[in-house]
């Protein structure tokens, strides 16, 4: 294997390109010219990739705007498809048209191309491509990367799932083993449909855990119980575990909301009730949080950070933005200001953006924070959060 192409340079694609470039020549393609210009200057677009740039051998990595001509002017051993598949509310399905177009373009020039789908797709999609282009080798390898730790997760995966034939894709297995840093990683071969389902149900389970611990937190508040103590007690059960168990304002980001909605569109709603309930629980959580904040009758609400979680630079389906929207729908005249260092603007959706944290904390009557941060130690007395680690600090201050 001499060279690979990575098509789509978002979180998943850029991570593939960076890590694989340690051992093989990689060409990255994207239709965003500004992104390509930044990448060519090694101005990587995610926080972790900026910190990782010094590890990359520049001679193994190049980027290009993804016009069909530039993509097809040379052949590659493997084409990794890492394009977005947004969930379309009007059709209640994932939008896979960009993947279909790119695959069609590749096989029209290279009919026997080896193509790996990395995007999250509906169950049955990869097999339908294989049936449409029988000469091509098409498989799916779903990703399980967390925003903020994508490169670490890629190098140290819990498992590698390959939806495709072992005999055809053994060289790909060797490519992965050449760059991952963890020993004895399970490599699981299965059908394309099974691999697609692994991705969707994995994210639905994670969303369910978020919703579960948020409902536990809701119960604790209603009964005046210490949420962190209850979580501590149940998490010692090894079947539950002490991980992914911190209450929040709800799940957000690119993957969990989209994939859970996509799964709902595939299941039989007459026989399956749990997955739809996860989405309903997450929506109710935002309403509950907004009502609790408004109960304090603050003159000015300060929202600390809009990123969907700590160590992320992504605002997509941010729980904090959902809370803002709920507050505004309940109390349209409520004054809200925002502290978000990633925003280079004075206004966000009509709300004031405060650049100085000192000014922000002084002028906010209540500070709303989805997650713990060192900055908030100074203002725990007027911080509203459901992050149990910050809640413990607040409880300690109240004792003093």
Residue-wise pLDDT tens digits, 33-53:
888 887 777 665 565 666 565
Q: What pLDDT was estimated at residue 400?
A: 41
Share of the chain above pLDDT 70, in %: 92
Alpha carbon 111 to its chain centroid, in Å, reads 33
Work out the pLDDT band at 306, boundaries 50, 70, 90: very high
Between residues 311 and 247, which one has the greater pLDDT? 247
What DSSP line would sit under 45-114, residue for residue? SSHHHHHHGGGS-GGGEEEEE--HHHHHSS--SEEEE-----EETTTTEE--HHHHHHHHHHHHH-TT-E
pLDDT band, very low/low/confident/very high, at 380 (cuts 50, 70, 90):
confident
Average pLDDT on 303-316 reads 85
Question: What tens digit of pLDDT does each residue of 336-369 get?
Answer: 999 999 998 899 999 999 999 999 999 999 999 9
The residue from 82, 139, 227, 255 that is catalytic is 255
- Is residue 139's pLDDT more than 50? yes
- Asked if 255 is an active-site residue, the reply is yes
Picking from 47, 50, 113, 59, the residue whose alpha carbon sits closest to that of residue 81 is 113
Query: pTM, whole model, 2 decimals?
Result: 0.90
Q: Can you list the alpha helix ranges (DSSP code H) found in the chain? A: 11-20, 33-40, 47-52, 68-72, 97-109, 125-132, 150-155, 166-179, 192-223, 227-235, 255-266, 274-295, 319-330, 357-363, 388-399
Predicted confidence at residue 34, as pLDDT, reads 85
In the predicted model, is pLDDT for residue 304 greater than 60? Answer: yes
Could you tell me the domains of the chain?
3-190 (3.40.50.720), 234-399 (3.40.50.720)
For 73-132, write each residue's pLDDT tens digit: 889 999 999 999 988 888 888 999 999 999 999 999 999 999 999 999 999 999 999 999
């Amino acid at each position: 294997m001499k060279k690979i192409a990575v098509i789509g340079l978002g979180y998943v694609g850029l991570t593939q390109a960076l890590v694989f470039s340690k051992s093989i020549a990689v060409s990255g393609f994207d239709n965003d010219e500004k992104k390509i210009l930044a990448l060519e200057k090694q101005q990587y677009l995610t926080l972790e990739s900026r910190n990782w740039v010094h590890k990359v051998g520049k001679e193994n990595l190049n980027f290009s705007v993804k016009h069909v001509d530039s993509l097809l002017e040379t052949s590659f051993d493997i084409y990794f498809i890492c394009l977005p598949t947004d969930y379309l509310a009007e059709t209640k399905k994932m939008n896979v048209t960009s993947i279909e177009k790119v695959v069609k373009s590749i096989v029209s020039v290279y009919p026997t191309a080896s193509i790996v789908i990395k995007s999250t797709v509906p169950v049955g999609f990869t097999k339908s491509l294989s049936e449409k282009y029988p000469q091509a080798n098409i498989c799916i390898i779903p990703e399980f990367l967390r925003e903020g730790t994508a490169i670490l997760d890629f190098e140290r995966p819990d498992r590698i799932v390959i939806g495709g034939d072992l005999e055809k894709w053994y060289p790909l297995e060797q490519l992965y083993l050449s760059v991952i840093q963890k020993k004895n990683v399970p490599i699981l071969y299965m059908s394309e449909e099974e691999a697609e389902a692994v991705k969707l149900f994995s994210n639905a389970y994670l969303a369910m855990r978020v919703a579960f611990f948020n409902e536990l937190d809701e119960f604790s508040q209603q009964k005046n119980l210490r949420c962190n103590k209850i979580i501590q007690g149940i998490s010692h059960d090894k079947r539950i575990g002490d991980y992914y168990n911190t209450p929040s304002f709800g799940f957000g980001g690119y993957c969990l909301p989209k994939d859970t909605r996509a799964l709902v569109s595939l299941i039989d709603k007459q026989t399956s009730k749990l997955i739809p309930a996860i989405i309903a629980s997450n929506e109710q959580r935002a309403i509950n949080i907004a009502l609790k904040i408004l109960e304090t009758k603050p003159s000015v609400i300060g929202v600390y950070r809009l990123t969907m979680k700590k160590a992320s630079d992504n605002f997509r389906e941010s729980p904090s933005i959902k809370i803002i929207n709920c507050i505004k729908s309940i109390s349209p005249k409520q004054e809200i200001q925002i502290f978000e260092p990633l925003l280079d603007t004075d206004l966000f959706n009509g709300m004031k953006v405060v650049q100085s944290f000192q000014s922000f904390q002084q002028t906010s009557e209540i500070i709303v924070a989805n997650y713990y941060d060192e900055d908030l130690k100074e203002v725990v007395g007027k911080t509203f959060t459901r992050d149990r680690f910050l809640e413990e600090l607040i409880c300690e201050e109240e004792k003093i």
